[in-house]
Structure 1
Amino acid sequence: MTSEPQIVAAALARAAGRHFGGEATIDNLGQESGGASRQTWSFDARVNGERHGLILRRDPPLRGRPGGERSSSLDRATEFRVIAAAWKAGVRAPEVLFEMQPEDGLGEAYVMRRVGGTAIARKLLRDPPYAAARGRITGQLGEILARIHATDLATLPPLVARQAADQVASLRQSLDQLGTPQPVFELALSWLDRRKPAPIDRPLLVHGDYRTGNYLVDETGVTAILDWEGAHLGDPVEDLGWLCVKSWRFGAVDKPAGGFGSRAELWAAYERAGGATVDPARAHWWEVLGTARWGIICHNQAWRHLSGAVKSMELASIGRRAVETEVDLLQLMKEGA
């Protein structure tokens, strides 16, 4: 019986051969850990005597009720074009190379160049090789984010626009689907709805999941921004708020900017790189929304496990983190009162 790695390797050999123009041999194929909603495979393709370090991004089979977060994610073809536009605009993103074709038998998928670095937060926050990088990451994240938001909209594929009110309504729908009382999240959504900022006149490209764990870092700092499936048009401050959600500090709670620096440092770097002046009140609102969003995602991930749709200890453990966000929400709402 043919195993999944053998099927993937054969498909990649055909696709790489088409793209690079020669017979391809696939080596060092392995599926990366993590990624509850997407498969990531690392491999080397040898074509015409040249070795290419590559990454396959692929949709896994879908089972069970899709949560609100997954249902709003980009398909692979659109994600491919968003990353291509960002890369051409000078964003530190992987270079996407080619899409898989239906005859390859891997579903919606694409291949990009492999970039060096790690996304593992505990290594970045603690290990000696990244000591110098830790002092650069906050500034680099601000600069990169300004460049993402400056991406020419004419180069992008059609994307949904989501203003603040749309985000609150989406979370409300997702919370209602749980079917169980969630008083803290109900309070947070009411708080957000009463204080939501005015819509922006010209929505910009928003990454949608800009946080520690979704970018690669080597000893020099950030090498690439990953996980673009949440990209949309919207308020650029959304990305700034999401990065500062306490859950993405991985224990470094005194450094709101992803565990590496202050909000002021992040905003200053963003503004120096051409981003608009950041309104602290608006940023706080988006941080509250981001915290509520993550907590509701935790509940939905737990539902996937508890319902039997996907048996996963990872999803079960993520579900337990919802209570952390409840404490964070109460503190944030008090600060913003």
Structure 2
Amino acid sequence: MAVTPSRDEGSAEFGLRVEQVDVVEDHEPDVTTLIDGVRAVLGQAVGTEIVTAEIRRFTGGASREVYAIHATDRDGAPVTAVLRRDPPGHGDPARMRAEVACLRAAAGAGVPVPRVLASGDTAPGIDAPYLLMNTVGGESIPRKLQRNPEFEAVRADIADELGYVLGRIHRTPLDTLTALDDSDQLDTIEQIYLGFAEPRPAVEAGLRWLREHRPPPRPVCLVHGDFRLGNLLIDPTGIQGVLDWELAHLGDPIEDLGWLCVRAWRFGASAPVGGLGGREQLLDGYHRATGDRPSADELHWWEVFGTLKWLVLSRFQAERHFGGAERSLELAAIGRRVCESEFDLIDALDLLDPAAPEPVSEPPGATVHDRPSVTEILELVAATLADDIGPALSEDAARQRYLLRICVSLLRISGRELTETGVMSQVRELLGRVDCISEAALAEKIRSAALSYEEKDVRAAVTATVLARVRASNPGYVA
């Protein structure tokens, strides 16, 4: 399961960042080897000798390595391409072959996708399953697509075009795509969630609602699986490329439309379709491509599913750190963003209790310590990092700036949590009203149907616990 592991609605950047990989004579042996491998594969793909090659690595959380290639042939003509490869030693040849098959099949169906130049389970110097594509122009950073003047004209109709492109994807012939997974997506997400052994009332309410309201199944088709801003290249004339097909599978086509409407992919904007347009526009474009117009209820079901899916996958990514598989400040911080999806989920299910109590701050207890207090220390350190140290970093220290922003965020989360000392007593009182000693007990009762997730006191308890987490982690999210 591969998802982008972090998002920052403050900066609204979910696109790829570029880091240059040095190409001077003393570059590291593995980079030199990769460049040599790229030259050979690219030369064979375009039918000419590649004399020089420079690679720049894209970063931003993808599970695969992605490189921009700028090369020249023996006549001095420029040659550009994009390389996707699995991390060496962690390759999945079958999944890469499936992605290649999706790109080729989708291209044949009229979907704007990069053209496959070459692919393989491995190659000398590349040393992992790989995919080489032509370069496609366009922007993928949501903040720029939502705000920059050059995209003003395309913004008016982009939701319609997004629906149209999804319709073309869903009409892709399946005869070359038999290797794709066709398992039930709701079952898959539920099993991942259960693997955490961390019962959550909001998730249990979502699972029950999804089981109780599931729309009739549609004929199986190609589903992109991660169709959203950040995985699209858009220029002022429209969509130029649909990227990142590694989560593609066979399933219900409306899954893609619902995923695109999940709040996480609006990046702080209000419009439901990627922060750029409305659901009706999306359905207009889809009808234009397919002759079919999904109902509002069907789209809503898949939007709820997508919200729950992002919640579970965010927790899955955090588990990579908590479980010891990959020590990472970035992944650990995602654990504090899960509550945002919890809030979105109960909001989408209309389970938010409007009478949920505001947090109460109790006066600090007696202490022998002088000021600054712990909370004051946290804020002082956070402010110094953000206002003094961060701006002093050099312009090429993008990764350090990014990690510093995460550190500042975690320090401020800690400070907010320490000041809301009355929250747990409120939560325990609300849980007691439904005869539960903990959130886990409430989750189990919702799962077993011993309690209805629509019951007033249940809604109050779920809302209070989720809001407590969000107000500590990202108070602006609720506002």
Tell me if both proteins adopt one fold, taking TM over 0.5 as the criterion: yes
Identical columns (%): 40
* CA apart distance, 1:126: 1.5
- The residue type equivalent to 2:187 in the other structure is A
Q: CA deviation at 1:17?
A: 2.2
Q: In structure 2, do the counterparts of structure 1 residues 281 and 101 end up closer, same or farther at CA, with 3 Å as the change threshold?
A: closer
**Contact preservation (8 Å) 2:52, 2:73:** no
Which residue pairs with 1:249 in the alignment?
A: 266
Secondary structure, aligned partner of 1:32: strand
Q: How do residues 169-184 of structure 1 correspond to structure 2 at under 5 angstroms?
A: 169-184=187-202
User: Which of 314, 329, 333 is the aligned partner of 2:345?
Assistant: 329
Aligned length: 325
Give the structure 1 partner of residue 248 of structure 2: 231
Q: Evaluate the alpha carbon distance shift between residue 311 and residue 61 of structure 1 in structure 2; reply closer, same or farther with a 3 A threshold.
A: farther
| 1:135 matches 2:156 | yes
- Please tell me whether Structure 1 or Structure 2 has the larger radius of gyration of its CA atoms: 2
Q: Distance in 1 between matches of 2:176 and 2:116?
A: 15
Is 1:52 aligned with 2:79? yes
Shift, 1:74, TM fit: 6.6
Q: Which has the higher contact order (CA 8 A, sep 6+)?
A: 1
* C-alpha distance in structure 1 between counterparts of 2:191 and 2:146, whole Å: 36
Answer whether contact 2:318 2:335 (CA < 8 A) is retained. Answer: yes
- Report what 1:7 is aligned to: 33
Name the CA shift for 1:167/1:100 in 2 (closer, same or farther; >3 Å): closer
What does the per-residue CA deviation read over 1:226-267, in whole Å, with 9 as the maximum and x for residues that have no partner? Answer: 1111111111111110000000000112x1111111101100
Q: What are the ranges of 5 or more consecutive residues in structure 1 without an aligned counterpart? A: 64-69
Residue 85 of structure 1: which of 81, 105, 108 is its match? 105
Q: Paired residue for 2:185? A: 167
**2: distance between equivalents of 1:47 and 1:22?**
7
CA distance in 2, matches of 1:30, 1:112: 15
The alignment partner of 1:161 has SS state of: coil
1:250-307 per-residue CA deviation (whole Å, 9 max, x = no partner) reads 0112x11111111011001110122522121111111001000001111011111223
Instruction: Please give the root-mean-square deviation of Cα atoms over the aligned residues, in Å.
Output: 2.3
- 125-134 or 233-242, larger mean C-alpha shift: 125-134
Q: Name 1:67's counterpart in structure 2.
A: none
Map of 1:1-337 to 2, 5 A cutoff?
Answer: 2-49=28-75, 50-61=77-88, 75-100=95-120, 102-104=122-124, 105-162=126-183, 166-200=184-218, 202-253=219-270, 255-334=271-350
Deviation at 1:27, TM superposition (A): 2.8
Cα shift at 1:221: 2.2
- Contiguous gaps of at least 5 residues in structure 2: 1-26, 352-453, 455-479
Letter matched to residue 42 of structure 2: A
SS at match of 1:27: strand
- Contact map agreement 2:88 2:127 (CA 8 A) in 1: no
Q: 1:106 to 1:135 in 2, by over 3 A?
A: farther
Q: Deviations over 1:66-115 (max 9, x none)?
A: xxxx99x9711110111011112210111111114534242111100111
Give the secondary structure class of the aligned counterpart of 1:10.
helix
CA contact 1:100–1:106 (8 Å) conserved in 2: no
In 2, Cα distance between the equivalents of 1:26 and 1:181?
55
